[in-house]
Amino acid sequence: MPRIGMWRYSSSIPVAAIQSLATVRCTSDRPRLSPWLLGACRRCPVAILAMAVVLACTGCKGDSTAAPQPSRTGQEASPARQVRVTPVAEKPMERSTVALGSLAAFDQATVSVKVPGRLRSIGVDLGSVVQQGQLIAQIDPQDYQLRVQQADAALAQARARLGVPPTGNTDRIVPEQTSTVRQARALLQEAKTNRDRQATLFDQGIVARSLLDSAESAYKVAVSRYEDAIEEVQIRQSLVAQRRTELALARQQLADTAIHAPFDGAIQEKRASIGEYLGAGAPLATVVRMNPLRLRVEVPEREAQQIRIAQSVRVTTEGDPNVYLGRIARLSPVITPQTRMLIVEAEVANEGSLRPGLFARAEIVIDDDTMAVTIPTNSIVTFAGIEKVVVVQNGKALEKPITTRRRTGEWTEVTSGVKVGEMVVVEPGNLQSGQAVTIVE
C-alpha cells in the first residue's frame, strides 16, 4: 500500500463513503462535515482531508443552487410608466442677441448755491426721495431782503425824477409831456418870437444890427436847451430801467437763497451742513434721476448692423428674478476701435427695484417673428451642464442630448438633437433610457 508522507493511503474507501460527503451542509455560520469524513481524516489526513474540502465546497455550491430560486426577471419587472408627450414643432419665435453692461442714472446733477451765504437749513440726506421743485436747502435770506428794499427805493426815486408816480409797473412816458421839456419848449418859443420881431424891425431900419444878432443867439441857446431837456428825460427813463433791473436782480438773489430739486430723483450725496458759509457755486447735494434708468451695453461688431432704435430690450440683474423691459434709445455713431464694439443705450423703466451701477444682462430683440424648431421648456432635463430630452421609441424611453438657443417662458428653440415631429416627454423627471412607457393624453 503506498505511503503519503508518514500516512498510508487506503484504496479501500467505499464509494458510498465518498458519496456521503454530499451530506455536507452549508449554514450561515460554517460548513459541517459528516461523521464518516471525520473518521477518514483520522486515518489519512492529507489525501482524505483535501478531498473533503473539495467535496464540501462542491456540496455547498450544490445545496445553494439546488434550492429553488425565484425568477430574477420577475423581481425586476415593473409596470410601464405613464408619460405625457408633445411633438417637436416649428413655431414663430423672436430672434435676439445678448449683451452685457451696466445701469446708470438717467440724469445726475450736483446742486450748488447761486448766492453766497450761511446755510440756514437743509431738508435732505443720503437716499432722500425728492420731487422736481421741492425745497431742499435754504441760505439765510436777511441780507438779500435788505437789498431788495434798497433797490425798490432807488427805483421809486428814479421814477419821481422822471415825473411819474413812485410806484407802478409802467415806465413809458412821452418826453414832450414832462415839465422839463415843456419849460425848455416855452423858452424856445419865446426866443424864436423875439428873433422874428428883431428881424422885422431891422428890415425896417428901426433897430441896430446888434439887437438882431443878440436875438438870434438867444434863439440858438433856447434850441440847445430844448434838446438837452429831451435828452435829460431820456436819461432819466434809462435810469428808471436800470433801477428796475437792479430791483429784479435783488429779488432774484433773494429767491436764489432757496435751493430746489432740479428734477424727480433721489439724493446720492449730501455735501453741506447747517451753519456752513457757502460761496457762490459751492456744492450742496448730488441728485440722480431714478426713473427711467440708462442702460449702456456693448454689442459685438458682427451683430451691430442688426441693432436699431426702438428695439425692445429685456433686462435682468444679478440676484433679481424679475425681468425689466426697456427700449433702445441711442446708438453710438462709431465702432470702438480698441474693442470692436458698438455702444448702445436703452431706457429701462424703474419702479424702485433697480439701482444705478448694477451689472445687467440685456437681451435685445432683433426680430420677433421668425420660425424655429421648438419644444416645451419643461421637457428639458439638465445634468452636469448637458441638456437633453427623452423621446418615445417603440414603447420605450430614449434620452437624446440637444443644443438650445432662444428661450421663452414656455418654449425653447432647439438647434440640434431632435427633429420636427418627434415626440418628447413633458416633465420627464428621472425617466431613463430603456424604461417602458405608456403615452397618456
pLDDT band for position 78 (cuts 50, 70, 90): low
Phi (first) and psi of residue 50, to 5 degrees: -65, -45
What's the mean pLDDT in 68-72?
44
pLDDT at residue number 77: 53
In a domain, 101, yes or no: no
In a domain, 245, yes or no: yes
DSSP symbols for 87-153: E-EEEEEEEEEEEEEEEEES-EEEEE-SS-EEEEEE---TT-EE-TT-EEEEE--HHHHHHHHHHHH
Compute the distance between CA of residue 260 and CA of residue 267 in angstroms, rounded to an integer.
12
Amino acid sitting at position 72: R
Q: Write out the residue range of the structural domain in which residue 20 sits.
A: 3-66
Amino acid sitting at position 409: G
Q: How many CB atoms neighbour CB 385 within 10 A?
A: 5
Task: Give, for 48, the enclosing helix (H) or strand (E).
Answer: helix 45-66
In a domain, 225, yes or no: yes
- Residues 202, 149 share a domain: yes
- Residues 231, 163 share a domain: yes
pLDDT digits (tens, 9 = 90+) for 102-139: 999 999 999 999 999 999 999 999 999 999 999 999 99
Q: Which three cell numbers stand for residue 189?
A: 418859443
In a domain, 102, yes or no: no
Structure letter (DSSP) for residue 210:
H
Q: Which residues pair with 383 in a beta bridge?
A: 386
In a domain, 281, yes or no: yes
Q: Which three cell numbers stand for residue 297?
A: 451695453
Would you give the distance in Å from CA 357 to the centre of its chain?
8
pLDDT digits (tens, 9 = 90+) for 25-67: 433 344 444 444 445 445 544 444 445 444 444 444 444 343 4
pLDDT digits (tens, 9 = 90+) for 416-429: 888 888 888 898 88
Here the CATH number for the domain that contains residue 387 is 2.40.420.20
Torsion sign across C-alpha atoms 42, 46, 48, 54: positive
- Residues 231, 160 share a domain: yes
pTM, two decimal places: 0.56
SS3 assignment, position 242? helix
What is the total count of domains within the chain?
Answer: 5
In a domain, 407, yes or no: yes
Amino acid sitting at position 8: R
